């Protein structure tokens, strides 16, 4: 499965802690992240993460494009609800796209934990029907 990892500045430590705690689950999937978040995860784990631009520079939109093309299966986006974000329209657009395309999205550690435990149990098998893997995906 393709999983996006995004975290606002004051939530990056939480995302790194999450990636460390669930490295055994995440390592079985293709990971994508916005710039600094991906860098910090790779520095703290053995996970391989495809890094996009930082969120304010278009990384949220790059992930949104994958959602719109049915190439993203799960989004873990640790948002900071107490801090105004200069790229708020991009964030809202990503949330909207995930709703339009029925992509599971967690915006906090608690919900992310529930989704990753479900992923570990195989509860996301329905995505294989919606987004079948090609031979290139399996390589």
Burial letters for 79-91: b for 16+ Cβ neighbours within 10 Å, e otherwise? beeeeebebeebb
Residue with tokens 């570990």: 120
Of residues 56, 58, 62, 68, the one with CA closest to residue 32: 62
Of residues 86, 122, 128, 124, the one with CA closest to residue 105: 124
Task: Provide the CA 90 distance to its chain's centre, in angstroms.
Answer: 15
**Active-site residue set:** 60
């Amino acid at each position: 499965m393709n999983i996006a990892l995004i975290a606002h500045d004051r939530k990056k430590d939480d995302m790194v802690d999450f990636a460390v705690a669930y490295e055994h689950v995440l390592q079985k999937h293709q990971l994508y992240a916005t710039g600094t978040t991906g860098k910090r995860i790779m520095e703290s784990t053995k996970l391989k993460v495809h890094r996009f631009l930082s969120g304010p520079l278009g990384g949220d939109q790059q992930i949104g494009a994958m959602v719109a093309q049915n190439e993203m299966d799960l989004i873990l986006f640790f948002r900071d609800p107490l801090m105004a974000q200069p790229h708020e329209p991009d964030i809202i657009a990503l949330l909207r796209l995930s709703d339009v395309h029925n992509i599971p999205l967690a915006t906090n550690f608690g919900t992310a934990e529930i989704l990753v435990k479900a992923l570990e149990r195989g509860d996301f098998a329905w995505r294989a029907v919606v987004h079948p893997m090609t031979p290139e995906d399996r390589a």
